[in-house]
Amino acid sequence: MAEYSLPAEEYSTLRVSVDQGVANVAIDNPPVNVLSVDLMTELLHFLKAVRDVPSVKVIVFSSAIPDFFIAHVDMTLNPESTAFGELMKAAPERLNVFQSISEAVRNQPQVTIVKLAGIARGGGAEFVTAADMAFAAIETAGLAQCEALMGITPGGSGTQYLTHRLGRNRALEVLLGADLFDAPTAERYGWINRALPAAEIDAFVDRLARNIAALPDGVIEAAKLAVPPKDLAKGFVREHDAWASLIARPAAGKLIQGGVERGAQTPEGELRLEVLLRDLWEDVKEPAAG
């Protein structure tokens, strides 16, 4: 059976290679891999392009930028742009754009694996949670739903995935505590499959992906049919309504804009994003109703 092939120049934010049934997709959107309109568009394009390619059995997502997997949704994103409008039109009914990215990953027929060596926050953490499996480097990986520090709640499936996977109490800790979780804690909570030493993660994930890709025909399809994703449709509507009610408030705009002005989306700022946003909050806090 012929391998799927893709001209390298087709994507500007992804590096794609396919070997022995495994598609390796390195996210490359410098400086910190924000989930921009271009990256969202190309991820959806890639997932659709390989969806019905029988020679691709497993997709492994990693990052070409060591410190960051996907930082979070682009804080400078213009919702009025033509490109974002195209994503909105393409989103399935009752899903917003950000939920559509996560759900495309979660419902992909191939086995999806995230190899997490750096930090994934917000939409990046939702992407990790959407994958069938995730493995993280003990020394360097981090996961966070940081949206509360921007005056909003997650709007790309994070609330639903975390409640289903971690339980309500731990999901609320992640959402409202808004801290960066290290790999061992994420493993203990059930957020990821395993935390592995950084020196071992490549070999482990490569071996697992190749072993899965080498299974007899029909086994992957049967396993994914027998263990389907949970139906979260009603929860997605609740999540979107909660997010939309907050993103329109002045505080959210001030926090997001202020975060960018203070260094968010730069490597230095992203390594300390929680501290940066907590410091900013004191400057934009709305007066209490009296």
What residue spans define the domains of the chain?
Answer: 8-284
| 235: pLDDT strictly greater than 90 | yes
CB atoms within 10 A of CB 8: 9
Is the N-terminal amide bond of 229 cis, ω within 30° of 0? no
Q: Which of 131, 101, 137 is nearest to 119 (CA)?
A: 137
Q: Is domain 8-284 given the CATH code 1.10.287.3510 in the classification? A: no
Instruction: Report the C-alpha gap between 34 and 120 in whole angstroms.
Output: 10
pLDDT of residue 5: 58
CB atoms within 10 A of CB 197: 11
pLDDT of residue 282: 78
| 2: pLDDT strictly greater than 50 | no
Q: Which residues pair with 15 in a beta bridge?
A: 26
pLDDT digits (tens, 9 = 90+) for 239-269: 999 999 999 999 999 999 999 999 999 999 9
Return the structure tokens found at 214: 């080498």
pTM for this prediction: 0.95
Average pLDDT over residues 177-186: 98
3 state DSSP class of 88 = helix
| Kind of pairing between the strands at 142-144 and 181-182 | antiparallel
